[in-house]
Structure 1
């Protein structure tokens, strides 16, 4: 059984996602709706069930969320994981620890059947290729190595929210000092929801983007933030740091199914020496723990590098070690080559040696 759900079927989409034990917020229709508004493409949910009878046991089920994008050639499309993390979420694999060889072979057969069905469906949809960013916390890249060329990149960081003591114990001693410093400096952390908070966020966030000469993609219109508030209303929380009554740092946290995620953030550079972001993330982790959440995923460095951003994050859990992986799939090589040729024909500066994928979008 194969079905593709559109964003117009949001209720059925979310009902299906929630039947998977390990789903995260990135799979919900409300999450991808904002990025459709942002212009990232048409959100779709691919669903596979090896059993014709969906209530039967012993089969393999899988879902994959992607953005279907138009290309320069009419009638041809490509696809990409929505901003953040995703990849196939699968249930029905055998426990390989109980009978390694037999179950391993069974799992490989199931996964290859899913992959064959997926590729066939993508071709029917005229989708030429796909770029996927796997979810480090779900480790869903591991099983897909059977049928896909998974590329392991850098590490990401997550906090264990098992208890307040565990949170504090895992934080690096220098970062604990920064958290204490922020409190001593009079930084107050508050949280809540509301459209007026996004107005404050946009002012600080856009100022940072201006300062860093950020690409246009990283500027979000008010409608994008409105969608977070309306379509993810039960799955987001705003945290902000105040100093002498002024908001100096803000973060949008998103969550689902016991998983808290660091989404978008900003801070006023004039006040960074007060360490507001250190205290903000610590308080957000404590809030998540209080709400019964199990993990707080902070993500990794820019471009998966172990840069200053990564070093800032790893200081919140010195024991964290989650693998971030990607994959690049070409479903129809002749059409892919046609898109590359089209780009080359209209762009004399096009670098056909680029490692960017898909090449025609470099």
Structure 2
């Protein structure tokens, strides 16, 4: 049976029945990410043997009667229970396709979560799955010493020095959130990040209010002057996954790399608390860049980051894409959907 869930109570209940989930799959995070003209939905498919729970955002397409599907910022994709290599997913594909067609949805996209099992298996029968890049994981099931053996010499040196320069604290007040937002915005401006990275202020406050996961702002504070030099928004879910979600550093302290000190503190705490994974993520836009290299200085445990793309209505998809003036012959891009390409 296919059921579309849009209320928090049923959404939360279904998440507790699957084999595991990340904070990116929760109702609270979806409602936080959705714009005013967007709907959130948890697609529930159940039989007597299996469960599939697929959270999505449904967006109207400007100047048309059509819609498309996307995932929230982060690592989404379907959740499941009792999916095996022998599971017949054809009935799920048929019902999902019919639902999309009834909603006038012409295409669908979802990022996948490297820490959730069977996502490729569930979606491989519709559209295509692409390997985009790699993300860096610190294996918290290893001992602290085993983890540290994978640190680069540079990271070891920074951490050793920064333990003398900084102390860490957890931000607990509205003032702390405001300090973090300012740090984050300044960092994104310095990096010339796209507008998509400049989340509204309420986005940060809402993340920290949710009871479905444990969100914390960890500050690196100078010992001599008590200045908040750097901070990271860290999110822990189900005593399993820790996500390094967002961070910011004052420009005058960037050369000291206090974020390394923060990530090390989170790593140690997460290991002692019994978590399994600490996802540092990848580079900007999935690129193998200096950001990726920085994260890789903590670990050589790389996970594949994949995305799912599915076009239901090729005629309308091509028609809309053909009207996008940003798509010049020189614009070689893997962006999806093409009609939303805007660079």
Q: Cα distance 1:218–1:304, how it changes in 2: closer, same or farther (>3 A)?
A: closer
1:194 and 1:122 mapped to 2: Cα distance?
Answer: 43
| Residues 232 and 166 (structure 1), Cα distance of their counterparts in 2 relative to 1, 3 Å cut | farther
How do 1:193-232 and structure 2 match up within 5 A? 193-232=172-211
Aligned to 1:170, the other structure's residue is in SS state coil
**Residue 89 in structure 1 maps to residue 86 in structure 2:** no
In the TM superposition, what are the counterparts of 1:1-362 in structure 2 within 5 Å?
Answer: 1-6=1-6, 9-37=7-35, 41-49=38-46, 51=47, 56=48, 59-94=49-84, 104=85, 106-107=86-87, 110-143=88-121, 144-162=123-141, 163-184=143-164, 186-232=165-211, 234-243=213-222, 244-257=225-238, 258-318=240-300, 320-341=301-322, 343-344=323-324, 347=325, 350-351=327-328, 355=333, 356-362=335-341
- Cα distance in 1 for partners of 2:37, 2:52 equals 23
Deviation at 1:291, TM superposition (A): 2.4
CA contact (8 A) 1:181 1:275 kept: no
Once residues 192 and 304 of structure 2 are traced to their aligned partners in structure 1, the CA distance between those partners, rounded to angstroms, is 29
The DSSP-based 3-state class of the residue aligned with 2:75 is coil
SS across alignment from 1:20: coil
- The RMSD of aligned alpha carbons is 2.1
Shift of 1:146: 4.5
- 3-state SS of 1:321 partner: strand
What TM-score comes out, normalization by structure 1 length? 0.85
Secondary structure in structure 2 of the residue aligned to 1:265: strand
SS at match of 2:10: helix
User: Across the two proteins, how many residue pairs are aligned to each other?
Assistant: 334
Contact (CA 8 Å) 1:112, 1:147: kept in 2 or not?
Answer: no
In the alignment, structure 2 segments of 5+ residues that lack a partner are none
Q: Distance in 1 between matches of 2:99 and 2:199?
A: 32
Report Cα offsets for 1:244-278 as digits up to 9, x if no partner.
20001111111212211011111112112222111
Residues 1:236 and 1:74: Cα distance change in structure 2 (over 3 Å): same
Q: Unaligned 5+ residue runs, structure 1? A: 95-103
